[in-house]
Amino acid sequence: MLRQRFVLDTSALTDSATREVEGYKDLCEGISGILDTIADARLSFDISCYVPFPSVYNELRDFAKNNGCDNEVIAKIDTWLVKKTPDRYEVKIPSKIFYEYVDYMRTRINKGMNVAEDAIWEAATECLFTTSEAKDKKKIEVEIERDVIGTIVGKFRDKYRTALRYGILDSAPDIDVLLLAKELDAAVVASDMGIQKWAEQLGLRFVEAKSFPSIIREYLHHQKSR
């Protein structure tokens, strides 16, 4: 049997949809349970699950610690995930990929600016209505800040994050996951749409985080049925 390799993004172990599908009650139980499944696969099939070091490894450990996971969970991360630094100098990626990425980012930035312009126009319009009803300048400023600007800025932030960040690579760990998977000819495991999009561009196999535990269990099931 061809040896299977997987490169895990942080979301492969922390995705809330995975916990819901698998029936884990909280984050720590979810990380521990998925790592137990990985351990069984490692011992039975020599399936290797890698995490880029130090980027994703540190991110994952910090995530576990900050959410109150105990030392046993940290020990499982250290034991069953293979830590490897991607070879950022030797892994070759077609220049067309980066050309498309720059073009894609430009489009996203323009969408972000459009959202900002819409928010500014909405704020200006609302301010005019508010000012016309206020009795003094101090009251105008308080009402605008509390009832108009605060609400609009909140909406703007949500829309801007969605327009600018959804479906793009926005961190060093994301890039490390793709580089390491390319280097190892491994599948990428994540719930991040940006990673999925660029994994496909690089010709890498992509596994959704919420499907990953069941895929590993399928290997184990067939071994036991022999």
> What does the pLDDT look like over 65-83, one tens digit per residue?
999 999 999 999 999 999 9
Looking at residues 111-116, what average pLDDT do you find?
84
Looking at residues 91-117, what average pLDDT do you find?
82
Location of structure tokens 């250290």? 78
Question: Is the model's pLDDT at 1 over the cut of 50?
Answer: no
* Residue in 182, 171, 207 with CA at minimum distance from that of residue 15: 207
Q: Confidence band (pLDDT; 50, 70, 90) for 134?
A: low
**CATH number for region 5-93+172-224:** 3.40.50.1010
Tell me how far apart the alpha carbons of residues 206 and 188 are, in angstroms, rounded to a whole number: 5
* Residue in 190, 166, 191, 170 with CA at minimum distance from that of residue 180: 190
> What does the pLDDT look like over 158-201, one tens digit per residue?
787 777 766 666 678 889 999 999 999 999 999 988 899 889 98
Residues linked to residue 189 through DSSP beta bridges, in sequence order? 8, 207
One DSSP character per residue, the chain reads -PPPEEEE-THHHH-HHHHHHHT-SSHHHHHHHHHHHHHHHHHHH--EEEEETTHHHHHHHHHHHHTT--HHHHHHHHHHSEEE---TTT----HHHHHHHHHHHHHHHHHHHHHHHHHHHHHHHHHHHHHHH-SSHHHHHHHIIIIIIHHHHHHHHHHHHHHHHTTS--SHHHHHHHHHHHHHT-EEEES-HHHHHHHHHTT--EEEGGGHHHHHHHHHHHHHT-
Question: Is the model's pLDDT at 58 over the cut of 90?
Answer: yes
Ranges of each domain in the chain: 5-93+172-224, 95-165
Q: What rounded mean pLDDT belongs to the chain?
A: 85
Looking at residues 24-36, what average pLDDT do you find?
97
Q: Are 30 and 18 in contact (CB under 8 A)?
A: yes
pTM: 0.74
Tell me how far apart the alpha carbons of residues 27 and 76 are, in angstroms, rounded to a whole number: 14
Question: Is the model's pLDDT at 203 over the cut of 80?
Answer: yes
Q: Which pLDDT does position 93 carry in this prediction?
A: 85
